[in-house]
Structure formats: structure tokens, C-alpha cells
Structure 1
């Protein structure tokens, strides 16, 4: 009987002791988990930006500007918890104006448009002095397209035709006008339609236009779609004549659209202009540094978003800058160069 009583008592004692130990240890465990969580929050909080909002002006919804800009915005949200979003626009000219007016915080724009803005030419009444450059990105390739039944083979053949030259206020339109003038063709010599990439592709499918300018990274999604519906022909730009234009418009480069990009059997000689990533000069040095660093730390994600980002490189990010460099970006590049 004594034995039968001792066993339950012993079990109860052991159980009580175990519960007591558990009770004693639980606050400590919770404290460690809370401390770890607080530490994580604190670490995240130290990697924040001075600015609470970061709106990136891009371009048309289907273009590389918007695809790459959206991927970059997601990087900034993830890294800094900033309220970042993209804004679709008519692209370069509109983007620079929005940045100058303080309506957006970062923009993608073509270097020729930025040059005009800094110098106060063409679309800009006076020099703009409140924009700074974060990086030189990738080349925008001038892709002039038509259908094989038009007989248009080179840029000189565009005279007298109905042409989509890009959205009004876009870098594409600036490229188109400048290149046409370089080949002795003015807007008086053609019928001009101001159309976005998607609108130009639709217009060509419907037979309403005979050719169109697309200035973007390769490949352009609207052209890839168009290729499925029409007998697409890429228009060539004579490289010797282009070199004469480059003598006075140094932001242009000679370029070849690789064979197979849009079903083309051979490489197509054309022109290219580098893209710029710009911010307002009010952006703090600290934010400029962090945004530049995050761009290059997360390049793989941008390359996954659009293959044009494959040409973004730390090694060439300062080559051919056309606006004053942001001090935060300069600090980052100087640090990298010293390694």
C-alpha cells in the first residue's frame, strides 16, 4: 500500500518540478525572441532613407523604362521600406520636366534629352540646374520598323511616308526628329503621327502607318508582339552618315541590332543613345549613396525583369554622364574604385 502511494506522489513531484522549470524558462525564451525581433526591426530601421516617398517616372506601360523602373522601385521598397511607385509617362522630355517641377523623385531619360535640358535647348526654354545623375544605364537602340510590302529599306526611304515618331515629349520623338534632320528629312517631308509604342504597333497592324520609330532597350515587347502579326522589316541607318551626325551630336553611337532579335537574318546597322538615371538635386547625399548602392547590389533582379538591364554595369556607370553627378552617387563610385 505504501509502495502504491509513493509512486503517484513521486510522479506528481517530478511533474511539478518540470512545470516549474518550464514556467521559469518561458519568460526568458520570450524575452530572447522579442529581443531578436526588436534587433531585426532596429537593423531594418537603420537602413532607411531620409525621404519617405520615391516616385519613379518611367515611360509607356509596355516599354523597358516601365519594366525596369518597376523592378527598381520594388528593390527600394524591399531594402528601405520607402513608399515607392512608378508613374507611366510620355517618357524622357516629360520625365525631366516632372523631375524639375518636383512632381517625381527619380526618372529614366535619354542622354540627348538630358543634354538639351542642361543646355536649355529644343524642348527646354532655359537651362535646368536642379537635376543630377545617378548612373549611365543601358543603350536605347533606335529601331525603325516597317513591313516588307512598303519597300522601305533605309532611313532615306521614309521621305513622303506616314511615320509614327513616338509619343509627344518622348525621347523617341527627339531621336526621330534629330536623325531625320541629319539625313535631310524634316517633318514637312513626312506625315507625322505621335504615337506610343503600343499605339504604333496597332497602327502598323491596321495599315494606318507605313513605318515607326521605337527607341528602347532590346528587345521591345511591342515589336515582339508586332512581329507575330506582320511581315516585319527593320530599316537600316547608314553608319558613315551617322558618324557625321555624331560629330555634332556626340550622345549618339553606332550600333547593330543583332541577327534574330526580331526574326531578322542579319544584323541591322542603326543608332543608339545611352539612358540616364536622374534625381532632383534636393535628394540628400545619404539617400543618393544608398539608392546607387542598392541599384548595383540588385542588378540581377533588374536583368531578370528585362534583358536590356544586362548592359547596366558598375564599370561604365559614369561613362558619358550628361548631367552633374549626384554627390551620393559619386561617393559610392569613389568607394568602389578604391577597392
Structure 2
């Protein structure tokens, strides 16, 4: 039934957009990819929906590809291995500056600011862990290698005075973390994603889970040390069955592309994103958060020239 509904939504997108949408002459005939994270996260769901919408509206071959996450996505985009990618704002800032996980500046520009992601430190409901300091000596995934999750986990633990080396970290992606938690193989895991993250929501339907609080002073310290990409936030009560809101941090999420991507391609992608926003949100709730007024605020990551043209035309 789920596949049938998804197919109907894609058909509706094609009917809605296909009659009036054309593509610029700057697309080629090859298959393009969106670097989209693990299969149980918001990135992959969003990437799949966007790929279907753009492919239908512009008569191109665009597909979502599973990856390790933000750092991996940025490297693929910069190397020309992916046309588009999703990335946390902090990781994208590091990529542009050539710091952190990046040995040198990457060829990365922003297409749009999409929505905010939330740090979620997940433990079982009956766990003795109630604070980040309690994680010492525990088996906790701090995110897959080359993921934005791993970047934030290290920074927050440091700000909280917790030695990451004291944690047994199997470096699992979200899907593997959820499976390991369900089997009792790990004590918890870090994740950064939209609310609700589908895989965690599924886990919460079969197991009692909690989120550990992230204190505002830690958020302030991380901002002072790095790119000021973070803000204090709350995971609302009711999310994953939580009885009360939990303090955490949020970081903006960008759709990125290489600076060398043709301007017409970027304009086509943006036009489809905004035209299909309502239909996309039926598949991925985070798509409803795309807003023309905030989409341009991607600093310190520069907007791609094609994106600048698109937003300028909207104002004109």
C-alpha cells in the first residue's frame, strides 16, 4: 500500500508540473544523483522525493543515493560524484573553509536552506544513563565515519567535558544504530536529523526510548569554538512518545551543489522544489519547512549563482 501511495504521489507531481515545466538546455543525458544519507533518515526520504519530482517535471534521470551523511555528501558533490547533496550547516561551513574533516576547501555552494535538524541522543527508557557524563564506559554510536553526526557528537561531548575516548564507539550509521539498540547491543546512539526521524519513530513504536538533554551552555561553547551554526532548541513533548520536551541544539540543513554546476540546472531544481513543496510534504513533512524568505540564508556557504538568479527573479 505504501508503494502504491508513493507511486500515486509521483504521478500527481508529474500531472501537476509536467504540463508547464521545461528543463534548461544545460542538463545532459546521464544519470544524476542526490547524495542522501542512510535509508532510515530524513535525508534519504527527502532526496528520494526530490529526485522523483525533478525527474518527472524536467524529464531527467535523477536518483537518490545512500551515503554516510553530511561529510560524505559534501566530498561527493565537490568531486563531481553527485549533482546535489544534503549537508548540515556546520559541516558545509567546514567544507568551504577546508577545516575539520576537510583537508582543503571544497567546491561547494548552497542551493537552499531547507530546514533545521536536531541533535538526538537516544537511550532506552530504562537506561541508567540520564546525562552525557553517564556515557563514559558505555557502548554508544557517535555516528558513522564521514557523517555530520560524528562532527557534532565530538564537539558537544567536548563542550560537556566528556572524553569521547572513554566511550566505546562502534561508528554505526542510523539504520545500524537502531538495529543494535533493538537487539540490546549498544547503550545509545547520537543522531542529527529532522523531527520526527522515521527510523527512530519506528523504534519508539516497539521500544521505550528517551533523549538525553543538551544544555544551552554547551551549545554556546560549541558556537564560540566553531562556526556559530547552532542554536538552542527543544524536541517537543510527544515526539517519539516523550512525556516532556527535551533541550537540545539545532543546526540548519542545506541542499548543496558544486560551484561548477550549470546555473540553469540549479534554477530548474529550485523551481521544482518550490512548485512541488505541498506534494513533497505529503511524503516528507520537513519539505513543508522550505521557505523563500529563509532559503537564502546559507552563510558562510555562498549561494550558487543559479540560486542567486532564481531568488532575485522571485523578488523582481
TM-score by length of 1: 0.83
Contact 1:96–1:107 under 8 Å retained in 2: yes
TM-score by length of 2: 0.89
Q: Deviations over 1:16-70 (max 9, x none)?
A: xxxxxxxxxxxxxxxxxxxxxxxxx997666665333431110111211011111
Match of 1:257 in 2: 235
Match of 1:125 in 2: 103
Match of 1:152 in 2: 129
Q: Deviations over 1:217-240 (max 9, x none)?
A: 111111112112322111111123
Contact 2:84–2:256 under 8 Å retained in 1: yes
Q: Which moved more, 1:261-270 or 1:153-162?
A: 153-162
Contact 1:167–1:195 under 8 Å retained in 2: yes
Match of 1:288 in 2: 266
Match of 1:227 in 2: 204
Match of 1:15 in 2: none
The answer to whether the aligner puts 1:275 opposite 2:245 as a matched pair is no
For residues 201 and 44 of structure 1, what CA distance do their matches in structure 2 show? Answer: 40
Q: Deviations over 1:91-124 (max 9, x none)?
A: 1111111111111111111111111111111211
Match of 1:102 in 2: 80
Q: What displacement does 1:85 show?
A: 0.8
Q: What displacement does 1:155 show?
A: 2.2
Q: Return the structure number with greater helix share.
A: 1
For residues 333 and 308 of structure 1, what CA distance do their matches in structure 2 show? Answer: 21
Q: SS at 1:214's partner residue?
A: strand
Q: SS at 1:262's partner residue?
A: helix
For residues 202 and 148 of structure 2, what CA distance do their matches in structure 1 show? Answer: 22
For residues 224 and 44 of structure 1, what CA distance do their matches in structure 2 show? Answer: 36
Q: SS at 2:225's partner residue?
A: coil
Q: What displacement does 1:320 show?
A: 3.6
Q: SS at 2:112's partner residue?
A: strand
Q: Which moved more, 1:149-158 or 1:186-195?
A: 149-158
User: Which residues of structure 2 form unaligned runs of 5+?
Assistant: 1-17
Contact 1:64–1:217 under 8 Å retained in 2: yes
Contact 1:76–1:82 under 8 Å retained in 2: yes
Q: SS at 1:99's partner residue?
A: helix
Match of 1:65 in 2: 43
Contact 1:159–1:190 under 8 Å retained in 2: yes
The answer to whether the aligner puts 1:302 opposite 2:280 as a matched pair is yes
Match of 1:243 in 2: 220
The answer to whether the aligner puts 1:214 opposite 2:213 as a matched pair is no
Match of 2:10 in 1: none
Q: Alignment length, in residue pairs?
A: 297
Compare CA radii of gyration and give the structure with the larger one.
1
Q: What displacement does 1:139 show?
A: 0.9
Contact 2:23–2:268 under 8 Å retained in 1: no
For residues 216 and 182 of structure 1, what CA distance do their matches in structure 2 show? Answer: 20
Match of 2:7 in 1: none
Q: Deviations over 1:196-244 (max 9, x none)?
A: 1121111112211111111111111111121123221111111233223
Q: In structure 2, do the counterparts of structure 1 residues 240 and 44 end up closer, same or farther at CA, with 3 Å as the change threshold?
A: closer
Contact 1:137–1:274 under 8 Å retained in 2: yes
Q: SS at 1:137's partner residue?
A: strand
Find 2:169's aligned residue among 192, 205, 208: 192
Q: What displacement does 1:294 show?
A: 1.5
Q: In structure 2, do the counterparts of structure 1 residues 227 and 43 end up closer, same or farther at CA, with 3 Å as the change threshold?
A: closer
For residues 23 and 152 of structure 2, what CA distance do their matches in structure 1 show? Answer: 43
Q: SS at 1:94's partner residue?
A: helix
